[in-house]
Each structure stands twice: as structure tokens, then as C-alpha cells.
Amino acid sequence: MARQKSSAPKDEYGWESVSQIVAEPNFPDLVRAQAAELGHLGLKPNPDFAGMQAQEALGRYRVWTMRRNRRLVGYARFHISLHPDYQVPFAFEVGHYIDPSVRDMWVWLRLWRGAEAALRALGIRYVAAHDNSRNPLSGGYRRLGYRPVSVTYLKEL
């Protein structure tokens, strides 16, 4: 019996450089969409890609991506450093986004688990993530073993 070719989408995950991502045709759309979801904060996007690249060159900034059929559809961005109080390697989530056309909890879990494994391979011992109050993922974080340790408040001065 001949094996049928699968029509399932091909998902790929991996570290990509800031310069690779900025060159993506749909990256501005993802940034605008992420900004729209965070619009309730009153912040306007003004990404410093040169700063991100400089931090990346120092090993302090990493972007874990998800592609579906080679198209960028999601990412998780991390600032990496030694925690100043504990001197252990930490990854602080800067932000993450998954295109609504592919978004669901299982896609997020695959993206996040892949990022965690890749961070672990870099020698990172702890990951700090934040939860967007408008689109909470606390159930997903708890499922992955995260525990809440603080609440972040934002105020414009």
C-alpha cells in the first residue's frame, strides 16, 4: 500500500537572529498585531532592533521562533543575564506572540516547551515569564510548572 503524503502543516522551531526576523515580510504585521493586543496599556510600539542586535551579540537576547510552512507565525523573546541578587543564569521573557490564525493553547505549549528546552541547553536555570492581563495564560504557565511569585503593576508618569 502506498503511503499518502501528509497535508498537516509543518511546524519548525528554533533560535533565530534579530536580523533574520526583522527581514521577514510578515514581521511588521506581527508587531502591529501584538501592539494592538497590548493597546489597553496605552503604549505605542517603538522597537529598538539595533539595541536588540547589540544585546544579542553579547549573548543577552534570544528569540525562539515558530514557523508554519516556513512562514513566521510566532516567537518568544528573552533577555538573558545572571540574576543580580542570586548570581544564577536567568531568562526574562521580553514578550511572546502567536499569530491568531494558528493560535491555541497547544501551539503555545509547543512553542514554550521548545523555548524552555533550548534555554536549558544554554545553561539557563530559571525562566521568568509574565502574563498579559487581557489574554491570561496562567493556566498554561502552571501546567508547565511555573508558580506566581509577583504581580506587576504599570503606571504612566
Extents of the domains making up the chain: 11-143
- A 10 A CB-CB count for 45 gives 12
Segment 11-47, tens digit of pLDDT = 788 888 877 777 777 776 777 777 666 666 666 667 7
Q: Does domain 11-143 have CATH number 3.40.630.30?
A: yes
Q: List the grid coordinates of 65.
A: 521562533
Which pTM value belongs to this model? 0.77
Q: List the grid coordinates of 116.
A: 524552555
The whole-angstrom separation of Cα 151 and Cα 119 is 24
Helical (H) or strand (E) element with 82: strand 71-82
For residues 74-86, give the mean pLDDT.
88
Residue, of 56 and 35, whose pLDDT is higher: 56
